[in-house]
Amino acid sequence: MSETTYTAVATSTAQGRNGGRATSDDGLLDVGLAVPKALGGAGGGTNPEQLFAAGWASCFVGAVRRVASRKKIALHDLAVIAEVTLHHDTDVDEFQLSAALHLEAGGIDQETADELVEGAHQVCPYSKSTRGNIKVTLSATVA
């Protein structure tokens, strides 16, 4: 195992996604949780899928930048949109996730954007952690 660089600590309380809170040990993250209206809940709070999507999108941006730097590619107007979908298999009453990661970048061509998104998927810690566990769709567009 490699050297520990950083450990994030977060706590979810009460009913978790159904009216709980999620907080980080440094106090910078403090969000109310709620079942989304799309799932029949009241809404009005965030949910685990949104938090996972935000973390993965943020990490993936860093991975794209790392791959681009190694290839000496200058990036402009970079964004990653992560969609995390919750699926319910009613036959066995189990839930699972899928994800779609979409890179938007300016100043490069489509082939380069496609190479960057594939390369980032190989080095991003979120991508590594989910590889083989959930379906992930990758795409890229250039501006």
20 and 59 in a single domain? The answer is: no
The b/e string for 40-52 (b: 16+ C-beta within 10 A; e otherwise) is ebeeebbbebebb
Task: For residue 31, give the nearest of 40, 44, 56 by alpha carbon.
Answer: 44
Q: What is the pLDDT of residue 1?
A: 65
Closest CA to 103 of 134, 76, 64: 64
In terms of domains, do 42 and 57 share one? no
Same domain? For 38 and 52 the reply is no
For 96, the domain range is 48-142
Strand order in the sheet with 94-106: 76-89, 94-106, 135-142
Answer yes or no: do 15 and 33 share one domain: yes
- Are 27 and 86 found together in one domain? no
Rounded Cα distance between 135 and 143, Å, is 27
Mark which of 9, 27, 46 sits at the end of a domain. 46
Q: How many domains does the chain have?
A: 2
Q: What SS3 class is residue 43?
A: coil
- 127, 77: one domain: yes
**55 and 82 inside one domain:** yes
Separation of alpha carbons 21 and 31, rounded Å: 6
- Indicate if 131 and 102 belong to the same structural domain: yes
Token code pair at residue 12: 């979810």
> pTM, whole model, 2 decimals?
0.92
Residues 61 and 90 in one domain: yes
Residues 76 and 21 in one domain: no
Q: What is the mean pLDDT of each run of 10 residues along the chain (143 residues)?
A: 88 88 96 92 93 98 98 94 94 95 96 98 98 97 93
CATH number for the domain harbouring residue 8: 2.20.25.10
Q: CB pairs under 8 A, 24+ apart, for 41-45?
A: 45/19
